[in-house]
Amino acid sequence: MNTHHNTHGYIGHERASGFDIAMAQLLELDAEVLAPYLAELTGWLADLTHPAPARILDLGSGPGTGSLALAHRFGSAQVTAVDISPQMLHRLHKQAAAQGDTGRISTLEANLDEPWAEIGEGGPYDLIWAAAFLHHVADPARTLAQAFEHVRPGGLLAVTEMDFFPGFLPEDIGIGRPGLEARLHAATNTQPPHEWTGELTDAGFTLEERRPFDIRLDRAQAGPDLNDYAQTCLAKLLSHATDALDADDLDALDALLDETQPHSIARRDDLTVRTTRTTWIARGPGASAAPVRPRRPPHRRSL
Ligand SMILES: C[S@@+](CC[C@H](N)C(=O)[O-])C[C@H]1O[C@@H](n2cnc3c(N)ncnc32)[C@H](O)[C@@H]1O
């Protein structure tokens, strides 16, 4: 596995940011628990891409759960993961090494709000993937225009967004007033879901599909990380809601997050996962089915 930096950052813990590390942990738990959804999503992409993509670009890869899932799904593809955060890319290196996936994933530390000079070196790309990323950039229209330039003729862009934060709890959790989680979500999910259809077509893409995924997982499907994931999500939501909830709800949330309490989220066996995600599949310029050769050989520096 290789890495390349085009900023003056450095990989590892030197510039460790607590926010990035906490976010990386949340994203990794998300991918573990929602593995059935991720498998369905990449399987759907496999159905839509003939021949299978040889070069994949993961925009705002974070800790690389998407890069890894795509590398598994497309067994001979080269995946380039780009992120502004060295901590995120460090996590990706660790995960890739743990899974024995060190050969086919490259990382590039770059600010995607800036010109994509070095990103172009590995392209054009057969598949560009942007999960929970587009709403982070300064100018999504510009980012999509750059993606359009870097996807091969007939290649695909897959944009995914989490519409709302997941829910886990039953209506009555045994403490406080029923409906606590709904009130927490109402206080924090104040924005409408992202909608990229217009921006995609404005950038030149042809929209192939816009697919909402309505995800409902029981305990068995979600697996052993469910409680950790629910606790991490709840703590994150609470950090945004302390001014918006009544005192009794804040007390109930404190009890839920206190692992010593019998009703705590860490100990519950009545959790499920309920969330919705939307994916847009958009086709790049022209309709050529055959991947073209890279314009220049990729320039990557080994770790
Ligand atoms: C919510 S995370 C999503 C990560 C990953 N795609 C996933 O689905 O797990 C958004 C990521 O975008 C990265 N990011 C935000 N702005 C960026 C920028 N201007 N250039 C590159 N990466 C950026 C962040 O560092 C973070 O890792």
pLDDT tens digits along 163-190: 988 999 999 999 999 999 999 999 988 7
Q: Examine residue 290 and state whether it is found in any structural domain, yes or no.
A: no
List, edge to edge, every strand of the sheet that includes 105-109. Answer: 206-217, 273-283, 151-162, 125-131, 55-59, 78-83, 105-109, 2-5, 301-302
Picking from 141, 224, 234, 147, the residue whose alpha carbon sits closest to that of residue 184 is 234
The reported pLDDT for the residue numbered 184 is 94
Residue 266 lies in a domain: no
**Ligand 1, atom 26, residue with closest C-alpha:** 62
Distance 59 CA to ligand 1 centre (A): 7
CB 71 within 8 A of CB 61: no
Q: Is 27 in the pocket of ligand 1 (CB under 6 A)?
A: yes
Query: What is the pLDDT at residue 300?
Result: 32
* 85 C-beta closer than 6 A to ligand 1: yes
Residue ranges, the chain, pLDDT below 70? 1-17, 102, 287-303
Question: Which structural domain, as residue segments, surrounds residue 42?
Answer: 2-165+191-217+276-285
pLDDT number for residue 73: 96
| 18: helix, strand or coil | helix
Q: Is residue 253 part of a domain?
A: no
Task: Tell me whether residue 207 is in a domain.
Answer: yes
Instruction: Tell me how many domains the chain contains.
Output: 1
100: domain CATH number is: 3.40.50.150
Residue 87 CB less than 6 A away from ligand 1: no
Q: Is residue 255 part of a domain?
A: no
21 in ligand 1 pocket by Cβ < 6 Å? Answer: no
pLDDT value at residue 286: 86
Residue pair 135/159 in contact by the 8 Å Cβ criterion: no
Read off the pLDDT of residues 212-224 as tens digits, 9 standing for 90 and up.
Answer: 999 999 999 999 9
Q: Show the tokens assigned to 145.
A: 């225009």
Question: Residue 112: inside a domain, yes or no?
Answer: yes
Residue 98 and residue 71 in contact, taking contact as beta carbons nearer than 8 Å: no
**Among the listed residues 151, 118, 141, the one whose alpha carbon sits nearest the alpha carbon of residue 2:** 118
pLDDT at 10: 33
